[in-house]
Structures are given as C-alpha cells and as structure tokens.
Chains A and B, each alone.
Chain A
Amino acid sequence: GQSLEQPSEVTAVEGAIVQINCTYQTSGFYGLSWYQQHDGGAPTFLSYNALDGLEETGRFSSFLSRSDSYGYLLLQELQMKDSASYFCAVYGQNFVFGPGTRLSVLP
C-alpha cells in the first residue's frame, strides 16, 4: 500500500521560515510533489523532486531523501497569502496525496 504523513497544522508569523515535513511509504517510487490549496480553491503545483537533494523555486524549496522516505517543503519570507493547505504527493503505483498541512501565517 501507499501512505503519507504530514503535520496537520503549522503556524508562523510573516517574514519567518517554516518547514513542512512529509514521510511516505509506497510500493514503487518515482517522485515527490508538493501542492498548495487555498480554501475553496484548486490545488496548484509547487515543486517536484525525483532525486535526493534540494530544489529551489523562489521563496519555496523542496527536499527529498529517498533512503529515508522523507521530504520537506521550506517556505521562506512568509507572506499572509501563503496561508493555505499544503499537500505532499507521491507517484508510485499511483498518485497518492498526503492528508495536508494547514499553514496559518500571522501578522
């Protein structure tokens, strides 16, 4: 089977840095993706890691360790608009999304 674990909630202040962790168990593994979803909106793609290491895209970075079945999303210089749910997703046998982490950014 396939399963992913993420913290349910994270709170931080504007300008801070926050890390959202994701651990996974999957039969077969091609890569780890991250998606952002605002309340009432559609998920939007943030990043994809197929190999170990850090991928940086602007204020967002994503890390993968295949040997540890672990990854994280790092959000820097937090802004109020970053308040949303963040999902890690694994493509193994099929696409599997994690339960999501609700990020609240406080002024």
Chain B
Amino acid sequence: ETGVTQSPTHLIKTRGQQVTLRCSSQSGHNTVSWYQQALGQGPQFIFQYYREEENGRGNFPPRFSGLQFPNYSSELNVNALELDDSALYLCASSLNGQSNQPQHFGDGTRLSIL
C-alpha cells in the first residue's frame, strides 16, 4: 500500500509569484483534502476534492485553487503569493469524502515566501 506523497518537500518563492504543490493520494482513496498549517497552530482546511470535483472549501481567497486528476492525485495552486502564505501545506487522502473515514496525511510541503 503506497502512502500519501507530496512534492516538493521545500520551496522558496517571492511575493507575487505563483506556486503549484502536488499530492499523490494513498492507493484506493478517491478524496483529497488540502490544509495550511502555520507554525504552532492546527491545520486550516483549504478545500477538498472528491472524484475530481470540489467538495467543500474553507475560508481561503480564490487565489487558492485546486485540481484533482482521474487517478485521484491533486494539485494546489496559489497565485499572487503573500508573506502570510508561508506555512506547511498538508495533503490528506481518504475514502469517499466521509467524515468517519480517517484522513491519511502526507509529510507536507514547507513553503517560504521572501
């Protein structure tokens, strides 16, 4: 069983740039959720994709967008990067977008904005 993998592990960008983060879900999982985690805080829900459709969105501006592919892997795109976007971005996969299903997290992408 292959776990959740994220790439890249670290990334440095400057204000105003755009970034794409990638996530491969655990085999058998059709749901991917993205989270932003600032240092010392809990993960903040960005959005969830279930079978290639957005299935819920947190309180993040439209410059945060996503995509899920037919193999259930996913991308998170962030445009017009701001200093406050510096954080750990976590991807989690689960089954059928249901609350009682455990979310399996990747190790995250550490994004630093200069």
A interface, CB within 8 angstroms of B:
4, 30-31, 33, 35, 41-45, 48, 50, 87, 89, 91, 93-100
Q: Which residues of A contact B106 (CB under 8 A)?
A: 42
Q: Are B41 and A99 in contact (CB under 8 A)?
A: yes
Contact flag A45-B99 (CB < 8 Å), given A94-B45, A97-B45, A100-B42 = no
- Please tell me if B44 contacts chain A, counting CB pairs below 8 Å: yes
Instruction: With both chains docked as a complex, state the minimum distance between the C-beta of A97 and any C-beta of chain B, in angstroms.
Output: 4
Q: Which residues of B contact A48 (CB under 8 A)?
A: 99-100, 102
Give 5 CB contacts A-B under 8 Å: A30-B100, A48-B102, A50-B100, A99-B41, A100-B42
Identify which of B58, B99, B107 contacts A42 (C-beta below 8 A): B107
> With A and B bound together, what is the CA distance between A41 and B104 in angstroms?
12
Instruction: For chain B, give the interface size range.
Output: 20 to 34
B interface, CB within 8 angstroms of A:
4, 33, 35, 40-45, 48, 56-58, 90, 92, 99-100, 102-108
Q: Which residues of B contact A98 (CB under 8 A)?
A: 42
> With A and B bound together, what is the CA distance between A45 and B3 in angstroms?
14
Instruction: With both chains docked as a complex, state the minimum distance between the C-beta of A62 and any C-beta of chain B, in angstroms.
Output: 13
